């Protein structure tokens, strides 16, 4: 099987097993970062389709989706998601897109 078609979680688990032996978790951390950037980029693209004022509705939808997914992935999947989220301490914001939205909203209000 082409390694590009393997879900991130399986590649990450493989790197975590290697890290347990070698003591070097840098490849697992790199894969987690890659997965979050890839998946997060898709989520950000979806979010950017909505006006700034609708962000509370987007947030509510994401929270509802998160809660629904928890029952699908089970306790182990939820623990993995929560653990990664707790250890993630950086969020990138596309300032160009944010500035564009603010300008567009200013024009719409004029």
Mind giving me the DSSP string for 66-100? HHHHHHHHHHHHHHHHHHHHHH-------HHHHHH
pLDDT of residue 101: 77
Domain that holds residue 2: 1-47
Instruction: Kindly report whether the global pTM for this prediction surpasses the value 0.85.
Output: no
Indicate whether 1 and 43 sit together in one domain.
yes
Number of structural domains the chain divides into:
2
Q: What is the pLDDT of residue 90?
A: 65
Model confidence over 30-66: pLDDT tens digits?
898 899 889 988 998 999 899 989 999 999 999 999 9
Residues 33 and 56 in one domain: no
- Among 74, 75, 84, smallest CA distance to 31 is for 84
Q: Which DSSP symbol is given to 50?
A: S
Same domain, residue pair 3 and 41 = yes
């Amino acid at each position: 099987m082409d390694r590009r078609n393997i879900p991130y979680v399986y590649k990450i688990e493989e790197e975590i097993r290697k890290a347990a032996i070698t003591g070097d978790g840098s490849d697992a951390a790199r894969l987690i970062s890659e997965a979050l950037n890839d998946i997060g980029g898709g989520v950000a693209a979806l979010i950017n389709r909505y006006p700034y004022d609708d962000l509370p509705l987007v947030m509510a939808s994401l929270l509802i989706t998160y809660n629904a997914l928890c029952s699908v992935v089970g306790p182990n999947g939820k623990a993995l998601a929560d653990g990664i989220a707790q250890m993630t301490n950086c969020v990138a914001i596309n300032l160009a897109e944010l500035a564009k939205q603010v300008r567009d909203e200013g024009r719409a209000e004029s």
